[in-house]
Amino acid sequence: MSQLGVDNHSNPLRDPQDRRMPRIAGPCSLVIFGVTGDLSRKKLMPAVYDLANRGLLPPGFSLVGFARRDWAHQDFAQIVHDAVKEHSRTGFREEVWNQLAEGFRFVPGDFSDDDAFERLRLTVAELDEVRGTGGNHAFYLSIPPRFFPDVIGQLKAHGLAEADGESWRRVVVEKPFGHDLASARELNDVVSQVFPPEAVFRIDHYLGKETVQNILALRFANNMFEPVWNGRYVDHVQITMAEDIGIGGRAGYYDSIGAARDVIQNHLLQLMALVAMEDPINFEAGSLRIEKQKVLASVQLPDDLGRHTARGQYAAGWAGGVKVGGYLDEKDIPSSSTTETFAAIRLEIGTRRWGGVPFFLRTGKRLGRRVTEVAVMFKKAPHLPFTDTQTEALGRNALVMRIQPDEGATLRFGAKVPGTAMEIRDVNMDFAYGGAFVESSPEAYERLILDVLLGDPPLFPQHEEVELSWQILDPIIDYWAKHGQPEQYPSGIWGPKSADEMLARDGRSWRRP
């Protein structure tokens, strides 16, 4: 079948043997609130085009923008065009663009404007009639959480949340999912009063990355890892998400959130759950959710949060060969701010598999380089028939799963150095996505948007996971709030000294990616 006017047999981007994204969405539209924001421009609109370019959207697919702008439909089309040209992953093709653009609509208004939502209702009804969208509409809330009640209330009031017959209505919620447990529950109450659980999709874009999904493949498709994936052989696990940039123009958002809420509560705890979970019955949403929830519910906080957590704030320093200012020097950041730009915590999982194995999670801005990785660090062999000098260059065996930017995995082990002496040194066996596969990986938002349109939720955390994550993080945030300023660390290094001291107390040290 031709999709968006493209013959799949002649489309080099739609390989029939490509099994990564084989399913095609049915008739539908996507309505984006906050369509003028960076997320929409850099990720959402390019992802929609890339899906169309791959033949994964139906011929009548439609994209509706909602924002407080005095735009006509053609103005909105130009905005999408510019975003696609600058940020799309796949090459621009005029015939695909022209077919896609026929379904563009724009509705001006703000979130309290009843007339605007009535225009939106008429717009989606018109799409059902002239584009064949069949009453199937997804509403993407790419807006701050404080506006969720307004928009969801308007969707309900104007009958936009209710589907007829076999058609569907879905809502997509971007993180943060609240700022603590209480607000997360309030947010869930607001959403659940209008949309049933199966119609709510909470976006964590990290879960859409190919390399995150590869954690599941690495663990469960290879028998070599399962026998040692436990506390008998694993010494500890380090999960790192480091950025070399500062906060940019996000002062208003970031200073009210901080590193722990921004990254640990969602991305890193989800990564930990994937690493630590038991075998799911299958990879359907319900099975994955059960196993991840078991992990999060089994997390044990350290008794002494002062010794087993660390937080910092970047100060002036050198990043990428350029002298940069500190967090308190950033525009619109108050000089008294106690918001952390670096956070590290030590957790344990109280299960038979992981008893006694610490999981160290860290994230920060203005660190040594941009990298996200999961490092499973193994115990040293209980008896080595070597002298200390023969193994002084030998570290721990490790399996490192690189999420970004150098996607792949590295297995580190000891090998003999060539020569007559018995000298053992660390060597790496490396797998890189770019070298192993000729096709490029879809962007996370491509996968996630397609899953929304398909109604397939395995990569989306449910409200139970969100609440369990806040139960882990809330006591840590509360402790930090009562204990003064975060420690300053120069930009360009790997965080505050307290983070190194936290691991040193356990006789361990952080990896330097």
At residue 208, φ and ψ (nearest 5 deg) are -90, -5
Q: How does pLDDT run along the chain (513 residues), one tens digit per residue? A: 334 444 333 343 444 444 444 578 899 999 999 998 888 999 999 999 999 999 999 999 999 999 988 887 788 899 999 999 999 988 889 999 999 999 999 999 999 999 999 999 999 999 999 999 999 999 999 988 889 999 999 999 999 999 888 899 999 998 778 889 999 999 999 999 999 988 999 887 777 777 788 888 899 989 999 999 999 999 999 999 999 999 987 888 899 999 999 999 989 999 999 999 999 998 888 888 899 999 999 999 999 999 999 999 999 999 888 999 999 999 999 999 999 999 999 999 999 999 999 999 999 999 999 999 999 999 987 766 766 666 665 778 899 999 888 888 999 888 888 876 777 777 788 888 776 665 666 778 888 899 899 987 766 788 899 999 999 999 999 999 999 899 999 999 999 999 999 999 999 999 988
Residues 136 and 36 in one domain: yes
258: left (phi over 0), alpha (psi -120 to 50) or beta: left
Residues 175 and 238 in one domain: no
| Domain boundaries, position 186 | 29-203
d(CA 34, CA 40): 7
Residue 218 domain-assigned?
yes
Among residues 184, 203, 222, which one ends one of the domains? 203
510 contact partners, CB below 8 Å, separation of at least 6? 238, 240, 360, 362, 494, 499, 500, 503
Residues 157 and 96 in one domain: yes
d(CA 57, CA 43): 17
Residues 339 and 466 in one domain: yes
Catalytic site residue 483? no
Residues 228 and 245 in one domain: yes
Among residues 164, 185, 203, which one ends one of the domains? 203
CATH for 75: 3.40.50.720
Which residue is catalytic, options 137, 179, 236, 267?
267
Residue 138 domain-assigned?
yes
Residue 96 domain-assigned?
yes
Residues 350 and 476 in one domain: yes
Residue 448 domain-assigned?
no
Query: How many domains are there within the chain?
Result: 2
Q: Would you call 202 helix, strand, or coil by DSSP? A: strand
d(CA 268, CA 368): 19
